[in-house]
Structure 1
Amino acid sequence: MSESYKGLSEHMLEAWSIKYTSGIHLGKACSNYLDHLYDMAINYDAVYFVTAMLPCYKLWPWLGKQLTAKQNDFGVYTQWVEENLDPTYTGYIDLETLINEEEKHGRINRKMALTVFKRSMENERDFFSSVP
């Protein structure tokens, strides 16, 4: 997953003609979300990071369905919408399966997992609410 995101990052910088990333400054909501994900990745078992990512993996296809992403023209954003808000994407099912298997074998604390999931949901809300 890490390598996939690294490749995506490099692709997006090239596609958007961004040469100097030092000029990009994240807002508080985005920074808080990234801090949460970083904390899960560095300080906890990997399954909690997967749990923290799950709301994002589930939300974007749902948004695509609400926006009928495969049917509408979004102008210059059409390609981005089609790539990121694909309403047919079901990759989150693999994450859910992994989390459920970890719980079944006693390798994840359900209460903590729900807290992590809820915090990621709140971060999604805060991120979307940060744009006027």
Structure 2
Amino acid sequence: MHGDVGTTPQLDRTDCFMALEAAVRWWGADVPEDPGAGELAPLLDEIVERLSRDRSTEQARSAALFLARSAEALRAVARLGGFLPAISLWHLRTALRQEAVARGQLAEHNDPQPASPL
């Protein structure tokens, strides 16, 4: 720490993918080995559909909204491919933030576990 400003380095591309892979597993999806953005986004879409369909609570709908935003950020990364690495990294970090908020939506309401596996 330097004053009120933290000096923790932000996640790089590899760290982001590892964290997103773990997050998608937490939600109950069967993640392939070494997935890319193109594989993670549809898995998040399936989770969004499940949350929207199987759990009609406000918390689940709110979590589904944030997960949908995360999936959209991953689709942006997939569209960019290897071009504009700084923009891709921004989208990866956005996907992670949105997933964390989605998870928080469930945890805030005494439901810390994900929905049943797909």
Question: Which TM class, normalised by the smaller chain length?
Answer: 0.3 to 0.5
The two structures have a TM-score, normalised by structure 2, of 0.34
Q: Pick the structure with greater CA Rg.
A: 1
The two structures have a TM-score, normalised by structure 1, of 0.31
Structure with greater helix share of residues: 1
